[in-house]
Structure 1
Amino acid sequence: MKVFRSPGRHGYAVEASPFLPRRFACAASQFYGLTGCGSLLVLDDSDSGVTLFRSWEWSDGLFDVTWSETNEHVLVAGGGDGSLQLWDTANHSAPLRVTREHTQEVYSVDWSQTRGENLIVSGSWDQTLKVWDPTLSRSLTTLRGHEGVVYSSVWSPHIPACFASASGDGTLRVWDVKAAACRLVIAAHHAEVLSCDWCKYDQNIVATGSVDCSVCVWDLRNVRQPVARLRAHNYAIRRVKFSPFGSTLLASCSYDFTVRFWDYSQNQQPLLDTLEHHTEFVCGLDFSLHVPNQVTHTHTYTHTHTHT
């Protein structure tokens, strides 16, 4: 396990580069995101440890980050001031573009992965979702329907112009961008849903993580009950991520200071492993797309751990 620390910053999201096997980005804030500034860090994992490649400061907290799927140097971050910023690792000083259409915190950003598509989705505490072109010049559409804060918005890796969102209203929703409409509403939990993610191998499988301490795995063809309900966390689940190397493998991180690994196909004992070396809330989590079983996670004191 390798550790990178950034004093005075609390990590909220981490994402592995889709291009460079040992590079990842971390979105962070001062004072637990309640006040103060934010930082966007680009980090490199080497044999000797995790090192800082590039960093930028922002005037408000940063809560999520996503890499471009077409340009290895470009990434987008979402801020507490309602902004999205387009950053380039070749530019040391300022973002390429800043847009402020959301009226409250941007808590989720994601770059589409389907072939021939190059779109960004953002989810905000203003209860809206917005879809953008890669220049962030202006939003292409605004989608409304959630009755609570939007915590998570993730593109389907299989279906063009389709993404899922999770909200404080307890629902998981599936959206059709071409029709500018919500196609499916799932009452996923009896509590706020803080995260969702699509299975990389099956277009019908989506996972949700909730304040009720459970991870639910859903088959979108039959949503009367989850395929699996995974319980072991003691506090709210901050993020869930499916593995890119196993169709039924996923990870979750929580305010209980742990990261847990699951195989939801194992009905009797789905919990595979638990990492308990954190000393604060674990907020960010991502799998490497290049190195099997390598996971990066960030929490609100020590920024990033890389674990294989």
Structure 2
Amino acid sequence: MSGADGGARRSQAFRLPGRHGYAVEFSPYLPGRLACAAAQYYGIAGCGTLAVLEQNEAGICLFRSFDWNDGLFDVTWSENNEHVLVTSSGDGSLQIWDTADPTGPLQVYKEHTQEWDPTVGRSLCTFKGHEGIIYSTIWSPHIPGCFASASGDQTLRIWDVKTPGVKVVIPGHQAEILSCDWCKYDENLLVTGAVDCSLKGWDLRNVRQPVFNLVGHTYAVRRVKFSPFHATLLASCSYDFTVRFWDFSKPNPLLETVEHHTEFTCGLDLSLHNHGQVADCAWDELVKIYTPSCLAAPV
């Protein structure tokens, strides 16, 4: 299904004037709260903004905003404090913010000299092996201390904080890999999204061939997320301005295409609290919260 709203139901939008969205994430604690990392001038120059938004019956309102002197390109919530967020910036630094403290970052960590490769402060461990920009990292939700990384060197790599060196190297695409995610229901299954416009699934027990290959996007896949509620469902957003929903267990895996942005769609998340609810953000200054038709009823 596609169209101006792509079939999306109960859609709400919030505009960040002069800010171009790069990442959005629902709070794991508060059902109506989400954060967006954004940048001026499409992230090429200027400052960045972290916008903390609240959803209510009237729509989406700004709860708190914080500015940084360089573009903000990613954001995540702390897993042990409902008020704390971490952002990453184009100046190579990480910022820790407290929504209860509007004065500025609690702390700034800087070990990197370039963007897109965040680790924290005086790092406990440094992992080397990639031969290109690292665009995405994700902790395993199943195996403590295990994480995956996706890189411009065209590989997906699996690491363990307890052992030095990379555990698994997967030459996933013949293009830069911009995003990866771990399935919430299968400790061996990951997905990658790449500049070649495809999404590929990988079973860590046999990485010679992907277990699925999803095609349909017409430009680079910027971010991919597995559903927290369905073992075989995932979502992706792209520089083709669309968000697409897939079920890789079906003969025709593309469930729905949502076309409600007019610029690169960079940020995407699925709510842990509200079944079927999705948030995305794009370079068109808009953050949108909606329920796509394919998630409005049991899949």
User: If the TM-score is normalised by the length of the shorter chain, which range does it land in?
Assistant: over 0.9
Q: Which residue of 2 aligns with 1:169?
A: 153
Structure 2 SS opposite 1:142:
coil
AA partner of residue 302 (structure 1): E
- Unaligned runs of at least 5 residues, structure 1: 108-122, 125-129
Q: Which residue of 2 aligns with 1:38?
A: 48
Q: Which residue of 1 aligns with 2:104?
A: 94
Q: Which residue of 2 aligns with 1:220?
A: 204
Residues 1-308 of structure 1: pairs in structure 2 closer than 5 A:
1-105=11-115, 107=116, 123-124=117-118, 130=119, 132=120, 136=121, 138-266=122-250, 268-308=251-291
Higher relative contact order (CA 8 A, sep 6+): 2
Q: TM-score, normalised by structure 2?
A: 0.93
Structure 2 SS opposite 1:140:
coil
CA distance in 2, matches of 1:176, 1:258: 34
- Where is the strand percentage greater, Structure 1 or Structure 2? 1
Please state how far the C-alpha of 1:282 moved relative to its aligned partner. Answer: 0.3
**1:158-184 Cα shifts (integer Å, max 9, x gaps):** 100011000000000000111132100
Q: TM-score, normalised by structure 1?
A: 0.90
Q: Which residue of 1 aligns with 2:3?
A: none
CA distance in 1, matches of 2:73, 2:261: 19
Q: Which residue of 2 aligns with 1:113?
A: none
| Sequence identity percentage | 64
Q: Which residue of 1 aligns with 2:8?
A: none
CA RMSD of aligned residues (A): 0.8
AA partner of residue 44 (structure 2): L
- Unaligned runs of at least 5 residues, structure 2: 1-10, 292-299
Structure 2 SS opposite 1:164:
strand
**1:270-304 Cα shifts (integer Å, max 9, x gaps):** 00011011100000000000011100000011331
Please state how far the C-alpha of 1:48 moved relative to its aligned partner. Answer: 1.1
AA partner of residue 16 (structure 1): F
**1:229-274 Cα shifts (integer Å, max 9, x gaps):** 00000000000000000001000000000000000111x2000011
> How many residue pairs align between the two structures?
281
- Contact kept, 8 Å, 2:129 with 2:165, in 1: the verdict is no
CA distance in 2, matches of 1:190, 1:183: 21
AA partner of residue 190 (structure 1): Q
**1:166-205 Cα shifts (integer Å, max 9, x gaps):** 0000000000111132100000000000000000111100
CA distance in 2, matches of 1:72, 1:41: 15
